Chain A
Amino acid sequence: RKEVEQDPGPFNVPEGATVAFNCTYSNSASQSFFWYRQDCRKEPKLLMSVYSSGNEDGRFTAQLNRASQYISLLIRDSKLSDSATYLCAGQTGANNLFFGTGTRLTVIP
């Protein structure tokens, strides 16, 4: 079983829509979680860290549910520029990140 499971999509949504992605993780010892954004043929870039209390950054909201071992990312009022692949990642201690396969989002005009 993979450390992090993620629906690969693709998600095709109209501009202005709200879209949500979920990831589940298998290692209950994982302490930190992140969402990364990756544009085509580019490196992943950190979008948000994820905390149990939830955190919000503008149109983006991330949430961690430790009881059910999943993390989520909500994007409100989607923009064309949000089109990218969104990767969730877990981290145990200060060690390496475990990534999901990524979810491809396309925002349509």
Chain B
Amino acid sequence: ETGVTQSPTHLIKTRGQQVTLRCSSQSGHNTVSWYQQALGQGPQFIFQYYREEENGRGNFPPRFSGLQFPNYSSELNVNALELDDSALYLCASSLVYGYTFGSGTRLTVV
């Protein structure tokens, strides 16, 4: 059974650019959630996808968007990057209860 995998592991972008982060969910898990974790903070919920539909969203602006594909993998897209977007972005997949996290993508915006 494969776990949750994320790519890339590290990324450096310039303010104003766009970025796409990718996540492959654990086998059989149909729900994917994305979290942003700034340094010294707990993970903050961005949004969740269930069977390719957005199923809840946290307090993030519309420039944060996502997709889920038929194989339940997912993308997080961030437009017009700001310096404060620098964080660890975590993907978590689940079937009913209990989440398995990927190792994250560390994004630095300069």
Contacts and interface: CB of A to CB of B under 8 A. Distances in A.
B104 A43 contact: yes
The range of chain B's interface size is 20 to 34
Contacts of A44: 43, 90, 101
Contact of A97 (B40, B41, B96, B99): B99
Interface residues of A, number: 23
Interface string A71-109: 000000000000000010101001111111110000000
Interface in B19-48: 31, 33, 35, 40-45, 48
A45 B101 CA distance: 7
Contacts, number: 52
Interface of A: 4, 6, 8, 32, 41-46, 49, 87, 89, 91, 94-102
B45 A96 contact: yes
B101 A94 contact: no
A104 to B, nearest CB: 9
